[in-house]
Amino acid sequence: MTAEVAAPANREQDDPYLWLEDVTADNALDWVRAHNQPTLAEFCDGDFERMRTEALEVLDTDARIPYVRRRGEYLYNFWRDARNPRGLWRRTTLQRYRTDSPDWDVLIDVDALGRADGEKWVWAGAAVLDPEFTRALVNLSRGGSDAVIVREFDMTTREFIADGFTLAEAKSDIGWADPDTVLVGTDFGPGSLTESGYPRIVKRWRRGTPLDEAEVVFEGTPSDVSVSASVDRTPGFERCFVGRSIDFWNSEVYEVRGSELLRIDTPTDATVSVHREWLLVELRSDWTVGAGSYRAGSLLAAKYDEFLSGARDLRVVFEPDEHTCLHQNAWTRDRLLLVTLADVASRVEIVTPGTWRREVVAGIPPATNTVVVAADDIGDEFFLDSSGFDTPSRLLRGTDAGQLEQIKSAPAFFDAENLDIQQYFVPSQDGTSIPYFVVRSRDAVQPGPTLLGGYGGFESSRTPGYSAVLGRLWLARGGTYAMANIRGGGEYGPGWHTQAMRENRHKVDEDFAAVADDLVARGITTVKQLGAQGGSNGGLLMGIMLTKYPEKFGALVCDVPLLDMKRYHLLLAGASWVAEYGDPDNPDDWKFIAKYSPYQNISATRRYPPVLFTTSTRDDRVHPGHARKMVAALQAAGHSVWLYENIEGGHAGAADNEQAAFKAALSYSFLWRTLGGRA
C-alpha cells in the first residue's frame, strides 16, 4: 500500500486522524488520491473491466422499465442512459406509454443544463404545482449531495423563470401553497438550521418579495432534527400542515388555521397522514386511547375533523401478527392500498374507506417483492412493481376496481432458470429466529464464494427483489448470495426495529453473525469464502463485523459507512440519528456505544480479513471522514485495507450510471479476488 501522507503537526492527540475530516483540504485530498491509486491498480484488471461493461449495459439499456408518476393528464419519468448520463425529465400520455417505444416529451435535459451552467448537476426531483401542472420547483444537486439549489421552471415555455422562486444551495424543504406562494425551510442565516443541519424555521414566501421578508409560519428548536410544511390543495379539503421532527422517530404535526396551530394529538412516534376526510395513524408503539388499546404496527383510521375536535372513534385497518407486518400504504382518490409482508413476502390489498373492507389484489406471484411505485390520489390509478430474486420486474397498472394489467416488463439480464432460492431461519444469541434467503445456481460448487448482505437499522426492510447487476456480476459467475433479515429492520414491523435500538444495538450484530455461522454450518460456504457487504448503517455493521467478528469472514465491503461513533453526531446529519444509536456525549450512552464503535475498537493483534471501504467526497449525509480515518487507523495497526473515494456521488456513492457501474465492478472484483474465485 502507498505510504501515509503526513498529517498536520497540530492535530489533536486523542484522534490522530481528525485532520481527515476536513473534506476538501489539500492534504486530505492528497491522502485520498494516494489511497485510491493502489486500490484501482490492484483490482481494475481485465475481469473488472468485463464486469464494469456488463453492469453499465444493465444500467444504460433502453429495455429498462421507465417508471412513471401521474400528474394530471401526463405520466412523468426521469431517465438516464449512455446518451444522457445525467438524465432527462420527461413526460408522455398513458396511451403512448402503453406502446413499446413511447413518444417522450423532454422537459429538462440535465446534461445540457449542466453544460450551459458549467456545473455537474445531479437531478434531485421537482415539486409540481397542481392542479395547474404548469410550474415546477426543480431541485438540482452538485455532485449528488443532499444539499440542492432550487429554481422555478415553466413547464409550458420549458424555461427557468428568471425572477421566479430560487434558493441557494442548502438542505431545503419547499413546496407550493398556491401559484404565487411557497412554504419554505432553508438556510436563512445564523440560527436558522438545527444541530442536524436541516431547516429549523418555515416561512411563507410570496412571489415578488425578498426571501428575508418572508413571514415566519413555524419554528422548531435547535435540538430538533428538522421542521417541514405541506399544503393539501384538494378542492374542498384545502389544508396547511407543519411539523417538527423532535428526533428521528418522534414528531409533532399541526394544522395551520390562520394564526392558530391545531395539534394532531397522536403518539409522537406514530406516522400520521391525512387524505380528504380521513386520518390514518400508523403506530410504532402500543397506544391506549379512549376505550381502545391498539398494538404497535397497527394502522388506524378516523374521520379527521372529528378526531381534531376530540373524538377518538378509531377503526383498525390493519393489525400485525407474529409473521405479518404493514410494509406500505398509499391512497388513490377513493381507495387505500396496503402492502404487507408475511415472512418477508409481499401481499397487496385494496381497502374501502368507511367499511375498511380489505380485498386481496389477484395476480401477484408468491415470494416476491411487490411495491406501490405510484398512486394517483386524485384519480383511481396505481402502479405496482413486482419482482423476485430470479424474476425481472413487471410493472402492473391497476385501478380501484382491483384489476391488474401488465404494461411493462424488464428483460432478464442474466440466466436465472437454474437458480435455487431458499429461505432459512437461524436462532440468534438470545434465541430469536432470524430469517435469511440464499440464492445460488443449482450447479454452483458447494461450499463456494458467498456474499452476505445486511442492513439492520432505521426500520428499513430488505426484501427479495431482482438485481440485474448482482445477478450478472455474482450469481451468473457461480457466486452464492445471502440476504439477512436481521433485527433493526422492519421486516416484522416496528418491534423488529425497536428491540435493537440504542443499548440493544448488539442484537443487530449478533443476528448477522448467527446467519454467517449458519451459512458455514450448512456447508453453503466456508469462512474463507464468505464475504459480506453493507452501506451507510449497513457500513457500520460491516465495521463491527471487522472489529468484533473478524474470524467469521473472508472479506468485507464497507460502503459510505458510519464508523467513528464517538463523533458521528458532530458530523453532517449525524445528530439526527441520536435516537437510533444513542448520544456519545452522555456517559451512560457511551458505555454501550463504546463496546461496538469500530473506530475505537481496532486491534493490532487480531487477524482481520481484507476489507474495501468506499465513500464519496460529496457525501453530505454520512461524512467521508468515517471511512478515511478508519483506513488510516487500520493501516497504522498493520492491517490490509483498501479505499476508494469517489469525488462525486453523494450518499449514493455514484452520481450517474457510469460511476455506479464502476463502483459495482470494483466491489465484485475485490470480492472475487479475496474469496478465492475469479470473475
Active site residues: 536, 651
Question: What DSSP element (H or E) covers 511?
Answer: helix 506-521
The 3 state secondary structure assigned to 442-472 is: CCCCCCCCEEEECCCCCCCCCCCCCCHHHHH
Q: Distance between alpha carbon 656 and the CA centroid of its chain, in Å?
A: 17
Find the largest Cα–Cα distance for the chain: 71
Grid cell, residue 389, equals 430474486
CA-based nearest residue to 631, from 60, 99, 147, 4 = 4
Sign of CA dihedral 130, 131, 133, 135: negative
Measured between alpha carbons, how far is residue 304 from residues 88, 280, 450 in Å? 39, 9, 51
Judge contact between 425 and 418, C-beta under 8 A: no
Between strands 369-375 and 357-360, the pairing is unpaired
| Complete edge-to-edge strand list for the sheet that includes strand 173-178 | 173-178, 181-185, 201-206, 215-219
Question: Half-sphere exposure of residue 637, counting CA atoms within 13 Å on the CB side?
Answer: 19
Residue with cell 456525549: 585
CB neighbours (10 Å) of residue 587?
9
With cell 497540530, the residue in question is 10
Which amino acid is residue 455, in one-letter code? Y
Buried b / exposed e over 531-551, threshold 16 CB at 10 Å, is bbbbbbbbbbbbbbbbbbbbe
183, 150 contact by CB (below 8 A): no
Rounded CA separation 601/634 (Å) = 10
Please calculate the CA angle 580-261-146 and round it to the nearest 5 degrees. Answer: 40
Half-sphere exposure of 99 (CA within 13 A, CB side): 8
Cα separation, 145 vs 140, in Å, equals: 9
User: Which residue has cell 493483534?
Assistant: 605
CA atoms of 305 and 278, how far apart (whole Å): 8
Beta strands in 400-510 (DSSP E): 404-409, 419-427, 433-441, 450-453, 480-484
- Compute how many other C-beta atoms are within 10 angstroms of the C-beta atom of residue 222: 12
Phi-psi region of 276 (alpha: psi -120 to 50; beta: other; left: phi over 0): left
Alpha helices per DSSP H over 301-426: 304-308
Tell me the C-alpha distance between 376 and 69, whole Å.
8
In 310-390, which ranges are E strands?
315-318, 324-331, 336-342, 345-352, 357-360, 369-375, 381-388
Helix (H) or strand (E) holding 43: helix 26-43
